[in-house]
Amino acid sequence: MKNRNKWIVIIAFFVLLMMPSICLAAEVDVGYFNAQKYKVLTLIPPIVAIILAFLTRNVIASLFIGIISGSLLLTIPGNNIFYGIVDAFIDVINRMVTSLADTWNAGIILQVLAIGGLINLVTKMGGAKAIAESLSKRAKNRRSSQIITWLSGLIIFFDDYANAMIVGTMMRPITDKMKISREKLAFIVDATAAPVAGIAVISTWIGMELGLIKDAFSTIGVNADAFGVFVQTIPYRFYNILILFFIVISVLLLKDFGSMRKAEVKARKEGIISSGHGIDISDSNEGIKHLDQKGLKPSMSTAILPIGVLIVVALLSFYFSGYKNIIGGDSQALINLLKESPISFVAIRETFSASDASIALFQSSLLAGIVAIIMATTKKIFTFSEAIDIWMEGLKRLLITCVILVCAWSLSSVIKELGTAKYLITLLSDAIPPFLLPTIIFLLGAIISFATGTSYGTMGILMPLAIPLAYSMNLEMSFIIVSTSAVLTGAIFGDHCSPISDTTILSSMGAGCNHINHVKTQLPYALFTAVITIIFGYIPVGLGMSIYIVLPLSIIALFIGIQVLGKKVE
């Protein structure tokens, strides 16, 4: 009996010794493990998807093959080829189902479909045509029409998805009339989507950004105000700022270069607004004949009221969704804030940060659609049944966009499991001189976000690494803030121009532009702006130069670059 108790004690002792190891093993990052295991092979899925997208001009097939290639890497080891292929196919299906099961993704899919139905109905009621005719009075030339598009992108600052879908669709008739290529329209829309939402102090992005900043600073033992840090990073978000100035400068000079100029030449000289087939929401002239037959004239109210409802209800949904989440949470300080000052700037900021943005946008899109259906019926433009059918038709036209989004999310999932981003960080982040750290962080963010098509994922990977690394090299808060901004703006680069990015896909769709043409034409502009960001932005501030000197110099460099490289389309 004594021996038995002795062995029980010994076994229990060894179990206790092994517990930390067991726990650590359970917490092993699968992505990190696979990055060490597969190394350079982790780059195969994004490279395959990106190269095939350019070569085949078929986004869905390219994304699907990219997902399959990643799944094969994960399933073939330990199996024969046949079982590996079968398991890979099952893995792809599971990833697609899982992506749809995610409440955020499901909300985005529903929002895309609801906005598609809304815009199709608004267009067929003649609202888009009426707005186009009204704006065309102010958009008297190519400059003013593009500047109005740019301003519209700034107005819808609170969400990049809503921006990409609304602005392109509403401005397309005007830019078509001015013989501006769909590629140029898609670029302006895309460049005012994520870059604007990423620096807006009230947006669907800020919750993610503030959370990452707060967590990263806590790891270095600094109790920093996350929102204060966020605001201080804004002047250093060189890519966000410069891509917005790029639009204005190129429009005012009427100069383009690279593939974009070729597209503009075709639009101006040959009347070819867009090459290839785009993902179109609806024809801007649809519904006008129906109005003529009934003796009705297009009215701006049929567009302004539903779109106004969309924007106002979206903002209200952000607030009340966040309010509900905060009141039901554990933060007593935030709860007291909402009770004492429910409509203060800080309260609004916090509620927006805590909101379920995808659900809020779906709610607003659905309600706006209901308003449009009621207007179509009461104005006797359509019967109730016809209005429902037209709304459903808009949903059907966006099914292909939903398929692309599901494939993009699935590819992102397999890339994350393979540890692609972690391998890139390991590969590129050794032996960095302190003054080059912001530049290296920006490059890492740009490469990872372009390869993965996700800014959120890139921020989540880099922020916990960048801030401690910056803190270990230089204790000055200004240096840490610059490094923080490099993470945020580097992540925007890929979100803006990667062919597998959500907003790039939605911008192509909103502008009615062939997706691959959009990527090919805007990529030189994005790369040019990224070069200016590094040479005239992060390297000088890394060396200690004041932002009040660096930012104006970088804008001047941008102007000179466009002046030298660009040519007018006569």
Query: Can you give the residue ranges of every domain in the chain?
Result: 206-241+415-568
Q: What is the mean pLDDT of the chain?
A: 81
- Residue 465, class by beta-carbon neighbours within 10 Å (0-12 exposed, 13-18 middle, 19+ buried)? middle
Selection from 487, 343, 324 nearest residue 421 by Cα: 487
> Of residues 203 and 263, which shows the higher confidence score?
263
Residue appearing with tokens 């609304």:
166
| pLDDT tens readout for residues 379-437 | 888 888 888 988 998 888 778 778 877 887 888 788 878 887 777 777 765 667 888 98
Looking at residue 24, its pLDDT comes to 36
Residue 219: φ, ψ to 5°: -70, -25
Alpha-carbon gap, residue 393 to 409, rounded angstroms: 25
Q: How far apart are the first and last CA of the chain?
A: 100
Confidence of residue 10 (pLDDT cuts 50, 70, 90): very low
C-beta separation of 508 from 172 below 8 A: no
CA distance linking residue 145 with residue 167, whole number of Å:
12
Q: Which residues contact 42 (CB under 8 A, 6 or more apart)?
A: 34, 35, 73, 415, 418, 419, 420, 423
C-alpha pair distances (Å), 544 with each of 264, 320, 434, 474, 538: 41, 43, 11, 12, 10
The answer for residues whose C-beta is within 8 angstroms of residue 336's C-beta and 6 or more apart is none
- 186, 522 Cβ separation under 8 angstroms: yes
CA dist 423 to 163, 418, 427, 470, Å? 33, 9, 6, 20
Dist CA 254 CA 249 (whole Å)? 8
Digit-coded pLDDT (tens) for 101-158: 888 778 878 887 888 888 788 878 877 667 666 766 777 788 888 999 998 888 877 6
- Contact predicate 115/307, CB 8 Å: no
pTM exceeds 0.85 for this model: no
pLDDT of residue 163: 78
The HSE-up count of residue 156 (CA atoms within 13 Å, CB side) is 28
What is the tens place of the pLDDT at every residue in 204-226?
Answer: 677 678 777 887 887 777 877 77
User: Please, which pLDDT band fits residue 46 given cuts at 50, 70 and 90?
Assistant: confident
pLDDT value at 533 more than 50: yes
Do 206 and 353 contact (CB within 8 A), yes or no?
Answer: yes
Confidence band, pLDDT 50/70/90 cuts, at residue 551? very high
